[in-house]
Structure 1
Amino acid sequence: MAIRTSTRGFIIAGILALAILYTISYRYRSSAISSFNAHNLVPSLLHSKPSQHDFVARALEHEVSDPFNIAAISNLCRNRPPREDVIVSCNPGTGGVGNIRSYMLHCTRFAMEAGASMILPHFHRRSKSDLFELNGEMGDFEHFFDREHYIETVHAACPHIKVYENPEEEWTMGNMEIPHWPLAINVSSLSNPSPWRLELDSWFETSTAGMKKPVIIASGDPGRDRAVMDDGIDFYYNIGRILKFRPDARRLAALCMAEINRRFNLHMDPEQNLFENAYMGAHLRTSSDAVKAGWNPDFEKQTDWYINQTLRHNLPVIFAAGGNDVDLERFANKAFKRGIYVVNKYDLLRGNDLRELDNFLWDQRGLVDFEILLKASQYGGYARSSFSHNVAFRRHFVSKVEDPFADPDNHFADEISVVYGRFDAGWEDEGVRTMWP
């Protein structure tokens, strides 16, 4: 009887051991299947991920253009003798997020060349009722950007530059407009001030208006003729870091990226410049302003480009950015037939975060898209969009392709980004020469 009991015990113990081994094996196989399915477009929640809070915090600390070399900006400022009696004022800019971002950087670069302080640049907001109308109400700096970061970074790079928000309280208006000669803003090197600066200094010595101190130098469009590469590659790559989008928009973007990571069981490292083998970013440019401009934004052609790029790189999901909600839904349905999920910022946010996004104006919502597209594994944009170009130009920091404009069929192409199609040669040339990344 004792032997039978002992045998029964061994049998029970063996069964329990097999059950435990089977459970472990099952969990292992489930994990493996889950990992496989993430790349075959079946979302899974089984894989362990960083907490949402941790992912967001770490993502906000790292940008696609890391590391930031502020010395490249300081070097230029040191070679432009300061003029404490001068303040630069740029007329308000117009356009979408890509245009306004580049305009802000051009205005700052203009102040650096003058060795002057500056009035915090402003711009016209897009009309709420007509997206094609860009000369709407005046937008303050914080409509798009982080004011505190901008002022602190400009001052750290160029300590002599003061940024004034209420110039009437600080300065006497000179009411004298200095012509912004195209020749003058083509700076040849950091060590040799441009002819424009020499002209400005001479004007102050000889002009009656220039002798009145202090004086405001007014500029219409400080960027239309400014060739951005003239300042050297280090300055070109780093000047954009003085601007950050407003913190609430960046937080919502980080939440969206965390949700993509969770939902599709990816392995996204929030500290990477670009996420590896994670998601495709696509800018669908079919909103009403593009239609009204007569650009004929071909939905089928754009979406074919983006789907094919996604398939070439074996990515499980597309993050789609765009201002036409109907077309975003059409895009999702079309891609699903090819075995690809498409998500957008409205799909990824919930609760108070989604309500916060709903309170943003149309262009402000684009800030969230911009940040998510920047860190995509692959990116596709449309040639008839400064937004598309600005994203691609910033991403090119981590590219190994020397000439992204060599593709005869597409305006911009490197191994991580493509701006599909072509526009007219003049517009493309100006966009390349004058847009800061």
Structure 2
Amino acid sequence: MGLGTDNSSSTAHEDSVGGHLLASFGRSARSFATGTWTCLSRRVLRLAVTVPLIVLFLLYMFQPPRGFSDYQIDPLVENTQAASVVGDIPQSPPALDQAIIERISREAFIQDFLATDITGAYNGQSLYDLCQEQKWDESVIFECPPLEGGYGNVRQETLQCLRMTIAVGGSMIMPQISIRNPNDISDFRTSDMAPFSYLFDEEHFKNTLASYCPQLKIYDSLDSLSGYPSVDNPISLTPIDLPGLDKNDKVIAKPEQYPLAFGEWLKRENNPPKSHVRIAFTNRIIWTWPTSSDPPAFVRSFSSIIRPRLDIRLLAASALYTLKQRYGLPASVRPINGLQRDTFVGVHLRVEADANKFGFTNYSLQADYFLRRLAELSAEVKAKGNGELVIYVASGDEEQVARFAEQIAPLRVATKRELLDGGQLDALSWDQQALVDLLMLERSSYLMGVRESSFTWTLVLKRAAAVNWVVGGFPTGPCWVNGPKGEKRRRGCKEDLAPEEFWRDDLSVLVGPQTKPTTESIDVVRSTIFP
């Protein structure tokens, strides 16, 4: 009897129910004689066993996430996720149900991976505010240079092109990617062009800009401008060469001067005025706009409009799940948990033919430093009782990976080819395969790479921004902060670097020879990369 119910009506109801039950029992007995009840009972029994198992598993999988539990997060982006204690896993069910649970576990992990980023949920408010403040003239149409090189360069060229387009309120043509020569990976400036979707999620790029910067008109290609004959002959522009700009090496020192300097230049170049004008940026834009000129919230989130395409993210999610299961990584290795300590170490071994041709840090210097650091990390993990260290090695040179694995034995080494089906990778180009490595390295507990690689610089700065230790460039202090358990955490100040280190914080390190100059100034690269 429920609260507030009437006794007499309840009794009458019970009598009615009892009559129905008796009648139902008689019908059930007749059904049993024909075998129907037996079939039904088996189905009910299977449901009674399977459904609770699945429910228990889902309750375990979708417990409240722990967030960035291993790092002290600056309140730049609100994090309201509550900490929780991982419960006990239910006892092992029969083999068939275990297979079901494994499939659900993998699928849930992959969905979490696709839905999350190490920097947290995207906050487009700062982009929206910037676009709202800008004056727009969609008749001024900007064309990005052909996107050349690996992921780090291609991503950076796109973001620089977009940022300088927004700065003067113009329109933009979707950029195209120059496909690397498959027979000579050092030949990345080819005339073989591919759409943006060759590497990136183009739909996500367009939808994010449509939502947070609707004033920016985007043309799919030059063919979309066929109605404007005046754009047939573009005007070439290298922004750093504009008169009236203060410069710091190859970087615009005072970006607030850029709109006026551009406007004056355009009046001279577009004379007599055309109804629509096409401005073609040169490839020198890659290291032009300093991230320090924009609000930290904008710098931290701006690059989130660019992400690898879906099929590559699916492969990376599958590889990370397999790594976790095969090597027994901690239960905290879940995409929704962000960066975690003592999971696996990522090594970007940049020793391929193109790196050698362009004078990158050689194998010996990389291996020597990495081995010393891995020995330290391995000792730390063992001291905490967390078992053996696992190293994920990213490289396009499998022979050098095997050489490195032999040198660091008995430490365990994993690669994308071990974790994924070879046929899946073989269907991808060299640069597309590198994006799987990118997404794996991004979620490592510690990352090591070389100073000359924009690929690794992008990862290092994004990881630092994910915990808000620094948003572009070196931190200005404090150089050490307290972790959630009172331990000291290194933020990456320049004065703390060893002679062969060009970046080092509690998440990542980049190494190289101090005496050998790089093609681009390290300070220029670091100060212009959007993390």
TM-score, normalising length from structure 2?
0.67
**Matched residue, 2:116:** 62
SS in 2 for 1:392: helix
Which residue, out of 363, 372, 378, partners 1:311? Answer: 378
Give the percent of matched residue pairs that are identical in Structure 1 and Structure 2.
Answer: 26
SS in 2 for 1:51: helix
| Structure 1 unaligned residues grouped into runs of 5+ | 1-44
Contact 1:105 1:436 in 2 (8 A): yes
CA spacing shift, 1:200–1:412, aligned 2, 3 Å? same
Aligned counterparts, 1:372-391, within 5 A:
372-391=440-459
| Offset of residue 139 of structure 1 | 2.8
Which string of whole-angstrom CA distances, capped at 9 and with x for unpartnered residues, describes residues 103-144 of structure 1? 111111121112111001123222111111121222321111
1:131 aligns with 2:185: yes
Which residue, out of 403, 409, 416, partners 1:345? Answer: 416
CA spacing shift, 1:320–1:206, aligned 2, 3 Å? closer
| Structure 2 unaligned residues grouped into runs of 5+ | 1-97, 382-387, 476-491
Distance 1:358 1:395 in 2: 29
| Offset of residue 73 of structure 1 | 1.2
**Matched residue, 1:290:** 355
Distance 1:253 1:421 in 2: 28
Which string of whole-angstrom CA distances, capped at 9 and with x for unpartnered residues, describes residues 335-379 of structure 1? 223xx21000000113xxx31211111111100000010011111
Runs of 4 or more, structure 1, over 6 Å off, are: none
Q: CA RMSD in A?
A: 2.6
SS in 2 for 1:294: coil
Matched letter for residue 427 of structure 1: S
CA spacing shift, 1:381–1:433, aligned 2, 3 Å? same
TM-score, normalising length from structure 1?
0.81
Contact 1:405 1:411 in 2 (8 A): no
CA spacing shift, 1:401–1:158, aligned 2, 3 Å? closer
Count of matched residue pairs: 384
CA spacing shift, 1:313–1:253, aligned 2, 3 Å? farther
Distance 1:233 1:293 in 2: 33
Distance 1:367 1:280 in 2: 17
Contact 1:174 1:212 in 2 (8 A): no
| Offset of residue 219 of structure 1 | 1.1
Matched letter for residue 163 of structure 1: I
**Matched residue, 1:197:** 259
| Offset of residue 312 of structure 1 | 4.7
Distance 2:372 2:232 in 1: 53
1:331 aligns with 2:331: no
| Offset of residue 311 of structure 1 | 1.4
Matched letter for residue 200 of structure 1: F
CA spacing shift, 1:382–1:210, aligned 2, 3 Å? farther
| Offset of residue 220 of structure 1 | 0.6
Q: State the structure with more CA Rg.
A: 2
Matched letter for residue 194 of structure 2: G
Which string of whole-angstrom CA distances, capped at 9 and with x for unpartnered residues, describes residues 25-83 of structure 1? xxxxxxxxxxxxxxxxxxxx9xx977111111111111111132211112222222011
SS in 2 for 1:223: helix
| Offset of residue 187 of structure 1 | 7.9
| Offset of residue 207 of structure 1 | 5.9
1:371 aligns with 2:425: no
1:175 aligns with 2:230: no
CA spacing shift, 1:312–1:140, aligned 2, 3 Å? farther
Distance 1:420 1:313 in 2: 21
Matched letter for residue 367 of structure 1: L
| Offset of residue 252 of structure 1 | 0.5
**Matched residue, 1:100:** 154
